[in-house]
């Protein structure tokens, strides 16, 4: 084969790969949809008073160790500043200027919860090479199995919310993430963070119901009185009268990344609260569509292998014959 | 070029160079012990903001691309039937098999729950939607294929004791099926070298726009892997000629350089075209840390593209070597930029490799060079030279 042929062949090869990868494949992997029985949380930043009872209850229910800050003189209190290998949920504060008013972007402050969003189409599940991250088909809970996990941390890298965390300090480390307290369900209990929340800022329930509740709050006039449920939506009656907040026109998690099962309301734009602006299409779809296009049924690799084997067979045979009949070239 | 069959170089194994390399390899061994007793946190600067450090980004993503010499030479010689490059195949393959095998060692160091590593290959656990699944299985298979491809160089040495009867038969089978292993040896790197780029797709907006190439990522990584494979062959052949006082292979390498040049132009067209098409080019002209490293990367590709355009430069051993080193740096930067510089998960996260992380990576490279030196002296890898030719 002369050089021109070499270039032709390599260009043809590159073009084939380019066509396979850049052209939108005929069959893009369909977006996963929310299960009608999906469970989740509604977090309303305007109701949150920053008491962090949820953080404490989460630690207790999930048997997580306390976290001390290096600059604290006497390490008596659990003081996580962010979720970590030891902490599955935290309440963070947004501060601006004089911090006079709650839930105001200018010269105000606001609280925000950080924990797993339980994505409808989660990147961590798609990234995990050993099925250690699973999404329950019915409840939609994204769970983690340390018995399956190899500790590669691709889930940590992939999650757009920075949720799965890793215990780097342990000899036998593992991933830590909120699993919606599904281990408590068998005792008739639900997410500890929602159970202890005194204002109903964190509310547990079916995602469909939570979205209806969010829509109800958004339809009310800010400053008027309404009843706010607490604990579990559809559970025992624990509602109390409160004042409707002034929400930004955004239910975070409704469309982000194909939707999430923790949805949030706030008086301050979400990008200010550390929540990224995400497209409605999960990157997992792009990634999986590419993999399926290239490797689906191993068709392309096998065809490619056949062509390579044919060329290799022909060319090595030539060597053998040449070597038998004297040296080549 | 010499028509001589490969032959062992011979010579002393214990030299100041090999002793030095051995000492650095031992230091890496110490890091491994500490890592297994006290955990990753004790030796690395990894965090949840930077879950991948140099043990993945350098040792695997970059190291395996640097180890593409065996892949590209097999592609050239056996698939495109360019027989004159045959003498370069075996030395390139030796460097590749070590590069990949040590990348696998590094993965085991980095894997937090390494005792579960077999789950990747176990149907009940394997998760075929994962890009990392494809990368891991494909690299593991390729390492096995490369050892088989290289086996004609060492099988004879194993013919002792009860193996005496088995080895000739194994040799015959390997020879008969070699075409299949060669085909696999071209297919598998094409798959996982592109997938190493695809790994960034699911990281989505966490990757800076300059490296967020979407579906072009696999093509960019594959093309640069082939480029790096050729560049590494030039690099190794030059160093082997200098280090073992053998004549330069410049005429052969100069011809190779023309392929490199063509492919390099195609890559630059794809890379720059991609940036323009997705509207990311303005980011290159903002004053940021990312744009600085972007230009370092691009210059490492553009300068060799200009250098290799001239026939005189391609026939100049020094300039050819320079272009190859720049290309290696370019491929290095593309991968460092994509996985570390351009990776941003939020404020407050920083990463620079710790001393033990560096010691392990440098130690593995030292071990690779040490093993290469020892094996070319013991095994038939490099083409035999007439005594009169060697200085």
Chain position carrying tokens 């109701």: A47
Phi, psi of B149 (to 5 degrees): -60, -35
Sort out which chain A residues have CB atoms less than 8 A from B33's CB and list them. Answer: none
Nearest CB to B198 within list A278, A287, A315? A287
Q: Name chain A contacts of B192, Cβ cutoff 8 Å.
A: none
Mutating which of A3, A21, A278 best tests the B interface, going by the most B Cβ atoms within 10 A? A21
User: What's the confidence (pLDDT) of residue B389?
Assistant: 42
Q: Please list the residues that pair with A119 across neighbouring strands.
A: A260
Alpha-carbon distances, residue A163 vs A287, B48, B164, B308 (angstroms): 19, 9, 57, 47
Q: What is the pLDDT of residues A259-295, one digit of tens each?
A: 999 999 999 999 999 999 999 999 999 999 999 999 9
- Nearest by CB to residue B205, choosing from A84, A128, A160, is A160
CA distance A34 to chain B (A): 20
Q: Is the sign of the CA dihedral A187, A192, A196, A200 positive or negative?
A: negative
Nearest to B48 among A166, A174, A311 (CB): A166
- The 3-state DSSP class for residue B268 equals helix
Interface test with chain B among A16, A157, A281, A309, by most B beta carbons within 10 Å: A157
Q: Select from 3.30.70.20, 4.10.520.10, 3.20.20.10, 3.40.640.10 the CATH code of A39-67+77-281.
A: 3.30.70.20
Chain A interface includes B156 (CB < 8 A): no
**Closest chain A CA to residue B47:** A168
What are the tens digits of pLDDT across the range B343-383?
988 888 999 999 999 999 999 999 999 999 999 999 988 88
- Going from N- to C-terminal start, the domains of chain B cover 46-347
Q: What is the pLDDT of residues B168-194, one digit of tens each?
A: 999 999 999 999 999 999 999 999 999
Which of the residues A81, A150, A278, A292 would you substitute to probe the B interface, choosing the one with the greatest number of B C-beta atoms within 10 Å? A150
Burial class (CB in 10 A: 0-12, 13-18, 19+), A254: middle
Contacts of A313 in chain B (CB under 8 A): 179
Query: Using only C-alpha atoms, what is the Rg of chain A?
Result: 27
Whether complex ipTM tops 0.90: yes
What DSSP assignment string belongs to A192-219?
A: HHHHH-TTSSEEEEEHHHHHHHHHHHHH
Instruction: Read off the pLDDT of each residue in B15-27 and give the average, rounded to a whole number.
Output: 95
Tokens of A18: 């380019």
Across the 329 residues of chain A, what is the mean pLDDT of every consecutive 10-residue run? 52 56 64 95 97 96 89 76 95 96 96 98 97 97 97 97 96 97 95 97 97 97 96 94 96 96 98 95 94 90 94 80 45
Note the pTM of the prediction, 2 decimals.
0.91
The answer to whether the CB atoms of A287 and B201 lie below 8 A apart is yes
Cβ under 8 Å to A: B residues 88-107: none
Taking the C-alpha atoms of residue B316 and residue B321, their distance in angstroms, rounded to an integer, is 8
Q: What is the pLDDT of residue B42?
A: 95
Distance from CA of B39 to the nearest CA of A (A): 4
A290·B77 Cβ contact <8 A: no
Confidence at residue B266, expressed as pLDDT on a 0 to 100 scale? 97
Weakest-pLDDT range from A243-257, A298-312, B27-41, B239-253: B239-253
Q: A328–B52: do the CB atoms touch at under 8 Å?
A: no
Residue linked to tokens 């892949």: B71
Instruction: State the CATH class of domain B46-347.
Output: mainly alpha
Could you tell me which chain A residue has the CA closest to the CA of B182? A312
């Amino acid at each position: 084969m002369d050089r021109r042929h070499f270039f032709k062949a390599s260009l043809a090869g590159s073009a084939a790969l380019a066509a396979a990868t850049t052209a939108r494949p005929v069959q893009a992997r369909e977006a996963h949809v929310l299960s009608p029985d999906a469970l989740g949380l509604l977090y309303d930043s305007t109701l949150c008073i920053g008491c962090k009872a949820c953080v404490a209850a989460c630690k207790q229910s999930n048997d997580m160790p306390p976290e001390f800050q290096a600059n604290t003189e006497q390490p008596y209190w659990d003081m996580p500043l962010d979720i970590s290998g030891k902490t599955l949920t935290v309440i963070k504060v947004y501060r601006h200027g004089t911090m006079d008013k709650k839930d105001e972007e200018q010269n105000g402050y606001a609280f925000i919860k950080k924990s797993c969003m339980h994505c409808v189409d989660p990147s961590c599940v798609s990234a995990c090479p050993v099925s250690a991250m699973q999404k329950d088909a019915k409840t939609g809970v994204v769970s983690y199995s340390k018995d399956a996990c190899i500790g590669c941390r691709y889930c940590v890298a992939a999650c757009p919310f920075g949720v799965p965390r890793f215990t780097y300090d342990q000899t036998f480390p593992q991933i830590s993430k909120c699993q919606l307290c599904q281990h408590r369900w068998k005792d008739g209990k639900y997410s500890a963070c929602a159970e202890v929340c005194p204002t109903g800022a964190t509310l547990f329930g079916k995602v469909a119901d939570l979205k209806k509740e969010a829509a109800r709050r958004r339809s009310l006039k800010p400053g008027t009185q309404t009843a706010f449920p607490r604990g579990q939506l559809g559970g025992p009656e624990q509602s109390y009268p409160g004042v409707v907040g002034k929400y930004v026109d955004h239910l975070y998690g409704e469309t982000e990344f194909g939707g999430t099962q923790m949805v949030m309301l706030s008086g301050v734009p979400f990008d200010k609260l550390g929540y990224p602006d995400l497209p409605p299409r999960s990157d997992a779809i792009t990634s999986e569509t590419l993999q399926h296009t290239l490797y689906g049924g191993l068709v392309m690799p096998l065809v490619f292998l056949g062509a390579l084997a044919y060329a290799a067979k022909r060319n090595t045979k030539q060597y053998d014959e040449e070597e038998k009949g004297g040296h080549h070239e | 070029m010499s028509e001589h069959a490969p032959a062992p170089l011979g010579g002393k194994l214990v030299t100041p160079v090999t002793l030095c390399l051995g000492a650095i390899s031992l230091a890496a061994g110490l890091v491994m012990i500490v890592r297994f007793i006290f955990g990753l946190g004790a030796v690395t600067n990894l965090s949840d903001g930077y879950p991948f450090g140099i043990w993945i980004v350098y040792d695997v993503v970059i190291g395996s691309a640097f180890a593409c010499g065996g892949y590209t030479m097999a592609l050239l010689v056996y698939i495109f039937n360019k027989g004159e490059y045959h003498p370069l195949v075996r030395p390139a393959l030796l460097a590749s098999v070590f590069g990949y095998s040590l990348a696998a060692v590094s993965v085991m160091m980095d894997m937090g729950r390494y005792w579960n590593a077999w789950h990747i290959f176990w149907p009940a656990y394997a998760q075929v939607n994962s890009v990392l699944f494809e990368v891991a299985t494909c690299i593991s298979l390729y390492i096995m294929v490369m050892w088989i491809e290289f086996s004609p160089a060492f099988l004879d040495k194993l013919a002792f004791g009860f193996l005496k009867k088995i080895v000739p038969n194994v040799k015959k089978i390997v020879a008969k099926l070699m075409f299949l292993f060669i085909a696999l040896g071209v297919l598998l790197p094409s798959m996982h070298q592109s997938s190493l780029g695809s790994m960034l797709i699911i990281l989505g907006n966490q990757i800076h726009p300059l490296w967020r190439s979407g579906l072009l990522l696999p093509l960019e990584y594959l093309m640069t892997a082939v480029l790096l494979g050729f560049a590494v062959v030039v690099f190794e052949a030059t160093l082997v000629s200098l280090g073992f006082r053998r004549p330069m292979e410049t005429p052969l390498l100069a011809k190779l350089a023309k392929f490199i040049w063509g492919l390099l132009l195609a890559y630059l067209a794809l890379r720059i075209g991609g940036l323009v098409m997705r509207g990311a080019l303005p980011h290159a002209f903002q004053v940021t840390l990312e744009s600085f490293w972007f230009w370092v990367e691009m210059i490492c590709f553009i300068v060799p593209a200009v250098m290799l355009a001239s026939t005189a430069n391609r026939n100049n051993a020094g300039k050819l070597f320079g272009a190859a080193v720049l290309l290696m740096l370019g491929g290095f930067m593309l991968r460092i930029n994509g996985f570390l510089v351009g990776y941003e998960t939020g404020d407050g996260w920083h990463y620079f490799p710790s001393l033990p992380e560096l010691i392990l990576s440098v130690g593995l490279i030292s071990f690779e060079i040490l093993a290469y030196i020892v094996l070319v002296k013991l095994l038939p890898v490099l083409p035999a030279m007439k005594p009169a030719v060697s200085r």
